[in-house]
Chain A
């Protein structure tokens, strides 16, 4: 079943602010195999010119899951349990680093849904902003929704 194209252009902001914790950054760094002290040790991070420990450059790409991965679970969006959605392309722009202690707003906008053969391409833009509205990070994800395109009319 195709995804609901009425969602193109719709935005959603997470109901709660996300507070970045030092321990979360440590766990994330360990999970990606990073041992650089700017992720782990406040003193080392300050020596490198950062206010405190910083987030690895892929950290912001995970906030979507934490904040409830809108609109995947919205019934009208039409995402089926099967087939699967696969991440094909991801663009991240860092307006500034994410630090421990940051309080961040998370907003997702559906940019596009279109057919790619039997599949559909589904593009989302995530904006991470500070409590004061300062841009922190922009993530654009292109997901491939496998085999969900509407059947094409047979031409004979």
Chain B
């Protein structure tokens, strides 16, 4: 655990650097293979349509992983996440149109805990400003 971020210098309300993400069908198919979650709605447009989705649907934990990457970028240490709570509000649909799904993730330090830990609230927002997912991460600082 070698984060350089000093707990004492982190105020509540501090914003992490927001990031833009793009998911193409191939990214989703790679995640199917890596996670071994081959539920049809995640890779097969026909199955997705059969349950009322216009396009294949991204795995929630893939967006969760993207959100936590903001924390790693900040602390410099992927070992700094102690716990995370993800809530998936809306399906992330991935059209096969060369553009795919896009969302922006922003994060804010919302609470300082004991043992030099902080809470970071991360939110994935669509280009239409819909809240897609939120992740509350407990992060160990130095």
Contact = CB atoms under 8 A, between A and B. Distances in A.
Contacts of B1: 49
Given A31-B33, A88-B87, A97 B65 contact: no
Contacts of A84: 39, 41, 51
A92 interface: yes
B126 to A, nearest CB: 18
B85 A54 contact: no
Nearest to A37: B78
B51 A50 contact: no
B31 A31 contact: yes
Contact of B27 (A33, A57, A97): A33
A91 B84 contact: yes
A93 B82 CA distance: 6
A58 interface: yes
Contacts of A66: 36
Given A31-B31, A32-B66, A38-B78, A62 B37 contact: yes
A97 B35 contact: no
B124 interface: no
Nearest to A27: B34
Interface string A20-32: 0000000110111
Contacts of A36: 72, 78
B77 interface: yes
A56 interface: yes
A1 interface: no
Q: Number of contact residues on A: which range applies?
A: 35 or more
A37 B75 CA distance: 14
Contacts of B51: 82-84, 146
A38 B79 contact: yes
B125 interface: no
A56 B65 contact: yes
Interface in A86-119: 86-94, 97
A122 interface: no
Interface string B69-96: 1001000011101111111100100000
Contacts of A94: 81-83
Contacts of A38: 77-79
Nearest to A62: B35
Interface stretch (B10-18, B56-64, B106-114): B56-64
B62 to A, nearest CB: 6
Contacts of B78: 34, 36, 38-39, 54, 56-57
Interface of B: 1-2, 21, 27, 30-31, 33-37, 39, 41, 50-51, 59-62, 64-66, 68-69, 72, 77-79, 81-88, 91
8 A-B pairs with least C-beta separation: A31-B34, A62-B35, A32-B65, A65-B36, A31-B30, A57-B81, A58-B65, A28-B34
